[in-house]
Chains A and B, each alone.
Chain A
Amino acid sequence: MERKPTGIIGLDEMLDGGFLPETANLVEGAPGTGKTTLGLQFIYSGITVQQEPGLVLTFEEFPQQYYRDAAGMGWDLPALEAANKLRVIMTSPEVTQADLRQVGGLLETHVREIGAQRILVDSISHFERLNRDRIDLRESVYGFVNGLKRLGLTAVLTRESTTLLGGDPNIGQDIAFVVDSYILLRYVEIDSAMRRALLVLKQRGADHARDIRQYEITAAGIDVRARFEGRQGIMSGTPTLRMVEAFEGAFGRPRPQS
């Protein structure tokens, strides 16, 4: 089955090779967890490794901010724009939503002009400003996602969590039903230090890893590392040692009987 690798080795392993083509993939996390970095890495790797031009659709941050953030990781976005392989488009959700309903709209023109196959939408949370009602929000995002798929795009949609640690009471269950895959990024407090955890919650139509992995945001982008061992309640944000590890911590590891 064809895949759209994210360019993040550990994540691609978890996704069994990457996202499925023409799917909408939600990345949710608190500020600073690396949602935009993950999305930019998907776009940058798509252009430079897979030869798949891409779009960044921003509803809040100025393109200059993306250029700066990406430059910090050695990704020259202005050069990719100059080569007509990337466009960073600043607009609003209401205009995008209306535009996607039109034949030959502005987004469609961008897709056609550079042959875009990937898109980062940063962030889908802004649709919540337009739709206070849950059903309206779901309908709105559903229409938006279908519009992107109609244009042949594989999308990463970011969504902001409202809490820093643990589960989000406003978690986007309604949006989760509409998207094809759902990745959660979380802060985790372990031994008085903040770590980051990544979980692939679902991937429609394909297998995916179920374990919770640690990751870091490095000078080269997102680096997914080993799973959390010997802890439980990771996604609560304040995990505890599992019983056996707690016992070993208190009394030492039992010596094997000879």
Chain B
Amino acid sequence: MSTSDDLASRLVDDMDPRLLEFIRARVNSFIKWDLVRFFYDNPHTTDTAANIARYTGREAADIEQALLALADSGILQIAHVSGYQVYTLTTDRATRELLQQFVLACEDRDFRVKAIYHVIRGMS
């Protein structure tokens, strides 16, 4: 086994499989990570991609792609308000609990390092 495979297996072995899947399949970029954190902190936010870009200090075009992907993966919901496409956090209890679990786990440095590794690996 190569060194990188060995490192990967060590980084996977002791991670909750649900969180690992959450990172690999849903929060697989740093913009998505920022957005997930933003919606966790501000759970009743309802706004357009342009305004969410303003709140998070990002480019609207980048944000829009990430918001759509998060909506596809069930973390966000899309609503249409008289011509505006707006994004809100899902009302699905299980997803919200998983999100909370992820954010709380991120308070631990070791978990964060592992999560960052998986995001970078997924992006490459």
Contacts and interface: CB of A to CB of B under 8 A. Distances in A.
Interface in A113-154: none
A64 B46 contact: no
Contacts of B45: 63, 89-91
Interface string A66-89: 000000000000000000000111
Given A90-B55, A91-B47, A63 B81 contact: no
A31 to B, nearest CB: 20
Interface residues of B, number: 17
Nearest to B38: A62
Interface in B47-77: 47-48, 51, 55
Contact of A106 (B41, B46, B83): B46
A98 B84 CA distance: 8
A90 B44 contact: yes
B81 A64 contact: no
B29 interface: no
A92 B51 contact: yes
B44 A105 contact: no
Contacts of B41: 62-64
Nearest to A55: B44
A95 B48 CA distance: 8
B46 A95 contact: yes
Contacts of A102: 81-82
Interface string A90-118: 11101100110110011000100000000
A66 B84 CA distance: 27
A105 B46 CA distance: 11
A87 B48 contact: no
Given A95-B86, A98-B81, A106-B79, A63 B55 contact: no
A90 B41 CA distance: 11
Interface of B: 41-48, 51, 55, 79, 81-84, 86, 88
Given A98-B84, A99-B81, 20 more contacts: A62-B55, A63-B42, A64-B42, A89-B44, A90-B42, A90-B45, A90-B46, A90-B47, A91-B47, A91-B51, A91-B86, A92-B48, A92-B51, A95-B47, A95-B86, A98-B81, A99-B46, A99-B82, A102-B82, A106-B46
List the 10 closest pairs (A to B, CB-CB), nearest first: A98-B82, A89-B44, A90-B45, A92-B51, A99-B81, A63-B42, A91-B46, A98-B81, A87-B44, A90-B42
